[in-house]
């Protein structure tokens, strides 16, 4: 049975020290080395400078504004965009954008 998302194995070299750090983080987070490297690669690609961000899309901005209006009707002090940011940071950690502001 073929996987719905077939993978391709690759071979590349890493300095021993970097590989040791990868293995330590993977062990701390109870996941495989491959899973950690896949996530790191996805994050790097999605956060590269010059790449459009979701909030650059007018449709996304409009959707967030609509969510904010609905949330304000339900709870006066609610902020839907902040709720999404909080959820994302809980799942993935602080964004690069936020880190650069510090």
Q: What is the pLDDT of residues 4-51, one digit of tens each?
A: 778 889 999 999 999 999 999 999 999 999 999 999 998 888 888 787
Is residue 7, in this structure, part of any structural domain at all? no
Tokens of 58: 């007018």
64-94 residue pLDDT tens: 888 888 777 776 656 667 777 777 787 777 7
Are 30 and 70 part of one and the same domain?
no
Count how many domains the chain has.
2
Domain span at 44 = 15-51
Q: Verify that 44 and 81 share a domain, yes or no.
A: no
Q: Are residues 69 and 98 in the same domain?
A: yes
Residues 28, 65: one domain?
no
35 with 69, same domain?
no
Q: What separation in angstroms does the CA of 13 have from each of 10, 38, 67, 68, 90?
A: 10, 15, 46, 47, 32
pTM of the model: 0.46
2 found inside a domain: no
Which residue blocks in the chain are alpha helix, DSSP H?
16-28, 33-47, 58-74, 80-92, 96-101
Contact 33, 26 (CB under 8 A): yes
């Amino acid at each position: 049975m073929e996987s719905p998302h077939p993978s391709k194995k690759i071979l590349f070299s890493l300095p021993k020290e970097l590989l040791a750090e990868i293995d330590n983080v993977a062990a701390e987070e109870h996941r495989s080395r491959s899973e950690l490297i896949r996530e790191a690669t996805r994050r790097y690609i999605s956060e590269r400078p010059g790449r459009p961000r979701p909030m650059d899309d007018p449709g996304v901005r409009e959707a967030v504004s609509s969510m904010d209006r609905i949330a304000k009707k339900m709870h006066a002090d609610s902020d839907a965009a902040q709720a999404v940011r909080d959820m994302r940071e809980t799942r993935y950690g602080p964004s690069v954008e936020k880190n650069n502001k510090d």
